[in-house]
């Protein structure tokens, strides 16, 4: 039964502390105990409690991305626990019970009891640090049950040390004063709640009276209209109107009385709030005095224990000296091992980078090898085609020689036939003169004519054959020229294939330089992220607090302005109702109301002027804060960049743009030939011109991106 009650008590304590932890403005999720098991959120809270002790260097030792790694969680929790104990011992002078140490393994597993004890230590650090007033006010703003649990946890933490009990027995007046301050604080809080309830009731009464007054005004207007329209005597109506007027005045006096009572209660509530703040300050001072007395008492007890243990300590000093010598030797060995480990890590990193470069080079080499194999296959095909063309050219050349010889033979035969034709013509002329020998000559002339006609036909056929041979000769000459042009093109392709290997080597060099520039760009982007993460969070928290205070002040001014506007409307409505059908002689109550109205108008004008002045001052403060914030960010970034550039090995008196220009000049591609045939050949064998232009555009965009990053820095 007792164990169940103890477990319920621990669970309630852990839940209350979780509610208190959620009141911190941190950018990490805080929904369950599992969000606290990695120690990152607790480290953020401790950094916000005392940034000087829990500084950024200590915070950087906390591993952020631990996920489900229990070993990293336990390591983070051990760092948080050790730093918290040192803070309590050396800064707050709180002697915690070290015998019942926290089990970080159970905390990493999500144990509510151990987690509650750890958060209890964080609560003790918060309410005893330099900014304890703000944390105490935050605790007072929580629910009453949570406040009681947190106060009981603090009291339990202080009562764990036996010296605290002895100090309280020796200082009864301090304990009594502390209890008195706590009682007055609780009493002031209860009175504050009662006053708030009373003010709420008064507001409801005022609203009810205003409704009654509006109803009476409506009745009065209705009766006035009836009076104007009626023909009866005016005696009872006037008496009715006077009765209503007297009731209205009584209700108005009751309204003013309630408003005065409301103002008195409000003033009393403000006075009680000031008293409560004073009691809180006295409580803080008494707590500081109690901690100082406890610290002195603990120091006295420690001094006595040290005096008693002095002989034993002197006896153990010699043993410690021997151990110190052994420790020095071990440290030297550890230092040597660390140096070897660092060298091994550097070597492993260098080997990994070389492996990555080798893998990228291997992939590029495979691509180039495939291209070379393809080019060799094309070269073999072109060689076989060249051989075929050469054999074909030789056969055509032989045919051409044979046709040339046949042409020469036909020309000789043609010349012979021409001579024979001339001889035949001569014989014909001679035969015409010899008319006397008609019979013999007729017999000889007939075969001559037949022979002439045969020779003419043969000559005509030979001329047609000669024309055909000349046409074939021209066609063979044109085809021979085409084959010679193809042979020259193939020879040019072979020479350009050799150029393609050189271009591929240059392309590989450009790709390697591009990869190096890409790694350099990634490193500089990481450096920019580090510079962004080095901006301190204290300034951000301070700016957020100032913004919240300004917003709260604006809301208060708006509430005051609305309240006085309501009062002004009430007074104006009262004056309008009093001025209806009144005689020239006004009663003194009307003068009093007019005076009050004038005073409230003057107060409203003063408040409006004060509001304008506060708005101007608020705008000026916002401008100053923004200017200071930007100046601080610029100085931090410039200092970080200067320190990084001064310590960087690549700083060789050249800017980033100059380096990019040098790299772009080194990577400039070779001049492409201007001939169209060469371009077509380059498009078919080596690399398409469109891909080459796209690659050059990507390199230029990469250089422009590097220049924009430099300007952003």
* pLDDT above 60 (res 445): no
* Selection from 89-98, 171-180, 184-193, 332-341 with the highest mean pLDDT: 332-341
Q: How much is the average pLDDT of 85-99? A: 71
410 neighbors 465 (Cβ within 8 angstroms): yes
* pLDDT above 60 (res 613): yes
Would you call 17 exposed, middle or buried from its count of C-beta atoms within 10 A (0-12, 13-18, 19+)?
Answer: buried
* pLDDT for 312: 81
Of 52-66, 389-403, 665-679, the range with the lowest mean pLDDT is 665-679
Higher pLDDT, 417 or 447: 417
* pLDDT above 80 (res 113): yes
Count other Cβ atoms within 10 Å, centred on residue 624.
Answer: 10
Higher pLDDT, 548 or 514: 548
In whole angstroms, give the CA distance from residue 640 to residue 648: 12
Q: How much is the average pLDDT of 297-318? A: 77
* Selection from 32-46, 348-362, 475-489, 523-537 with the highest mean pLDDT: 32-46
Q: How much is the average pLDDT of 493-517? A: 60
Q: pLDDT-derived band of residue 520, with 50, 70 and 90 as boundaries?
A: low
Q: How much is the average pLDDT of 277-282? A: 81
Q: How much is the average pLDDT of 255-263? A: 81
In whole angstroms, give the CA distance from residue 562 to residue 607: 11
571 neighbors 597 (Cβ within 8 angstroms): yes
Would you call 662 exposed, middle or buried from its count of C-beta atoms within 10 A (0-12, 13-18, 19+)?
Answer: exposed
In whole angstroms, give the CA distance from residue 521 to residue 706: 7
Among 91, 439, 121, 114, smallest CA distance to 291 is for 91
Alpha helices in 2-61 (DSSP H): 2-22, 40-49, 56-60
Of 263-267, 444-448, 572-576, the range with the lowest mean pLDDT is 444-448
* pLDDT for 706: 45
Q: How much is the average pLDDT of 660-667? A: 46
* pLDDT above 80 (res 95): no
* pLDDT above 50 (res 407): yes
Residues near 303 by beta carbon (within 8 Å), at least 6 away in sequence: none
CB-hemisphere CA count at 13 Å for 324? Answer: 6
Q: pLDDT-derived band of residue 369, with 50, 70 and 90 as boundaries?
A: confident
Rounded to 5°, angle at Cα 323 from 322 and 324: 90
In whole angstroms, give the CA distance from residue 409 to residue 400: 14
Give φ, ψ of 100 to 5 degrees.
-95, 70
* pTM, to two decimals: 0.29
112 neighbors 33 (Cβ within 8 angstroms): yes
Of 177-191, 393-407, 630-644, the range with the lowest mean pLDDT is 177-191
**pLDDT exceeding 70 applies to what percent of the chain?**
65
DSSP assignment of 133-149 equals: HHHHHHHHTS-HHHHHH
Of 126-130, 141-145, 500-504, 662-666, the range with the lowest mean pLDDT is 662-666
Tell me the per-residue pLDDT of 582-599, one tens digit each, with 9 for 90 and over. Answer: 444 445 665 676 677 677
Token pair of 246, please? 């007297």
88 neighbors 80 (Cβ within 8 angstroms): no
* pLDDT for 168: 44
255 neighbors 210 (Cβ within 8 angstroms): yes
* pLDDT for 137: 84
Token pair of 43, please? 């480290």
Name all contacts of 145-151 with Cβ < 8 Å and 24+ positions apart. Answer: 145/16, 146/16, 146/19, 146/20, 149/12, 149/13, 149/16, 150/16, 150/17, 150/20, 150/123
135 neighbors 33 (Cβ within 8 angstroms): no
DSSP assignment of 563-604 equals: HHHHHHHHHHHHHHHHTTT--SS--HHHHHHHHHHHHHHHHH
Among 248, 193, 255, 198, smallest CA distance to 220 is for 248
Among 524, 543, 541, smallest CA distance to 532 is for 524
* pLDDT for 181: 64
SS3 of 650, please? coil
Rounded to 5°, angle at Cα 573 from 572 and 577: 115
* pLDDT above 50 (res 704): no
* pLDDT above 60 (res 471): yes
* pLDDT for 290: 78
Q: pLDDT-derived band of residue 349, with 50, 70 and 90 as boundaries?
A: confident
In whole angstroms, give the CA distance from residue 350 to residue 558: 66
**pLDDT exceeding 90 applies to what percent of the chain?**
0
Q: pLDDT-derived band of residue 621, with 50, 70 and 90 as boundaries?
A: confident
111 neighbors 103 (Cβ within 8 angstroms): yes
DSSP assignment of 67-122 equals: TT-HHHHHHHHHHHHHHHHHHHHHTS------TT---HHHHHHT-HHHHHHHHHHH
In whole angstroms, give the CA distance from residue 190 to residue 196: 10
Q: pLDDT-derived band of residue 67, with 50, 70 and 90 as boundaries?
A: confident
Residues near 104 by beta carbon (within 8 Å), at least 6 away in sequence: 74, 77, 78, 81
Token pair of 650, please? 């690549």
Higher pLDDT, 456 or 623: 623
Average pLDDT, the chain: 72
Tell me the per-residue pLDDT of 121-159, one tens digit each, with 9 for 90 and over. Answer: 888 888 888 888 888 888 888 888 888 888 888 887 777
């Amino acid at each position: 039964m007792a164990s169940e009650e103890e477990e319920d008590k621990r669970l309630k304590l852990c839940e209350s502390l979780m509610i208190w932890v959620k009141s911190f403005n941190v950018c990490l999720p805080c929904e369950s105990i599992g969000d606290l098991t990695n120690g990152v959120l607790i480290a953020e809270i401790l950094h916000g409690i005392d940034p000087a002790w829990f500084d950024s260097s200590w915070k950087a030792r906390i591993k952020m991305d631990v996920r489900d790694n229990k070993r990293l969680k336990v390591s983070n929790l051990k760092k948080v626990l050790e730093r918290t104990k040192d803070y309590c011992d050396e800064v707050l002078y709180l002697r915690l019970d070290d015998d019942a140490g926290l089990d970080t393994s159970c905390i990493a597993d999500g144990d509510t009891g151990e987690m509650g004890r750890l958060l209890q230590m964080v609560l003790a650090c918060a309410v005893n640090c330099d900014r304890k007033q703000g944390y105490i006010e935050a605790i007072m703003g929580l629910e009453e049950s949570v406040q009681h649990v947190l106060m009981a946890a603090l009291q339990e933490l202080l009562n764990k040390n036996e010296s605290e009990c002895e100090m309280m027995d020796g200082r009864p007046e301090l304990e009594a004063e502390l209890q008195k301050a706590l009682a007055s604080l609780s009493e002031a809080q209860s009175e504050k709640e009662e006053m708030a309830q009373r003010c709420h009731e008064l507001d409801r009464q005022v609203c009810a009276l205003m409704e009654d007054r509006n109803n009476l005004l409506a009745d009065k207007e209705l009766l006035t209209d009836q009076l104007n329209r009626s023909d009866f005597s005016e005696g009872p109506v006037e008496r009715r109107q006077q009765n209503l007027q007297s009731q209205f005045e009584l209700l108005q006096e009751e309204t003013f009385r309630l408003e005065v009572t409301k103002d008195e209660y409000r003033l009393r509530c403000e006075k009680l709030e000031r008293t409560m703040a004073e009691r809180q300050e006295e409580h803080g001072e008494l707590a500081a005095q109690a901690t100082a007395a406890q610290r002195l008492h603990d120091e006295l007890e420690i001094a006595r224990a040290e005096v008693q243990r002095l002989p034993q300590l002197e006896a153990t000093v010699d043993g410690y000296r021997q151990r110190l010598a052994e420790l020095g030797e071990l440290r030297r060995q550890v230092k040597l091992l660390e140096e070897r480990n660092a060298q091994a890590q550097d070597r492993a990193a260098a080997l990994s980078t070389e492996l990555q470069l080798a893998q990228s080079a291997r992939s590029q080499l495979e691509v180039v090898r495939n291209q070379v194999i393809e080019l060799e296959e094309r070269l073999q095909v072109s060689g076989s085609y060249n051989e075929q063309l050469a054999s074909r050219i030789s056969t055509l050349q032989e045919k051409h020689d044979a046709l040339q010889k046949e042409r020469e033979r036909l020309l000789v035969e043609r010349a012979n036939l021409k001579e024979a034709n001339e001889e035949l013509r001569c014989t014909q002329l001679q035969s015409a003169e010899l008319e006397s020998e008609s019979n013999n000559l007729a017999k000889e002339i007939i075969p001559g004519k037949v022979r002439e006609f045969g020779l003419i036909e043969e000559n005509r056929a030979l001329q047609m054959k000669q024309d055909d041979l000349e046409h074939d000769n021209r066609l063979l000459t044109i085809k021979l020229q085409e084959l010679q042009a193809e042979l020259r093109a193939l020879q040019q392709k072979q020479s350009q294939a050799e150029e393609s290997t050189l271009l591929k080597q240059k392309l590989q060099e450009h790709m390697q330089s591009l990869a190096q520039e890409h790694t350099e760009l990634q490193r500089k982007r990481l450096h920019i992220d580090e510079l962004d993460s080095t901006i301190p969070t204290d300034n951000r928290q301070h700016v957020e607090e100032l913004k919240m205070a300004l917003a709260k002040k604006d809301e208060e001014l708006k509430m005051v302005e609305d309240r006085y506007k309501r009062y002004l409307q009430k007074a104006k409505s009262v004056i309008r109702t009093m001025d209806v059908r009144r005689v020239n002689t006004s009663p003194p109550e009307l003068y009093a109301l007019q005076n009050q109205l004038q005073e409230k108008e003057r107060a409203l004008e003063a408040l409006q002027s004060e509001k304008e002045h506060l708005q101007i001052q608020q705008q000026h403060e916002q401008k100053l804060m923004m200017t200071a914030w930007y100046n601080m960010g610029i100085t931090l970034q410039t200092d970080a960049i200067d320190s990084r550039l001064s310590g960087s090995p690549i700083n060789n008196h050249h800017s980033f743009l100059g380096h990019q220009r040098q790299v772009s000049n080194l990577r400039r591609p070779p001049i492409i030939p201007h001939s169209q045939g060469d371009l077509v050949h380059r498009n078919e064998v080596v690399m398409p011109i469109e891909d080459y232009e796209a690659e050059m555009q990507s390199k230029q965009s990469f250089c422009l991106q590097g220049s924009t990053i430099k300007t952003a820095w």
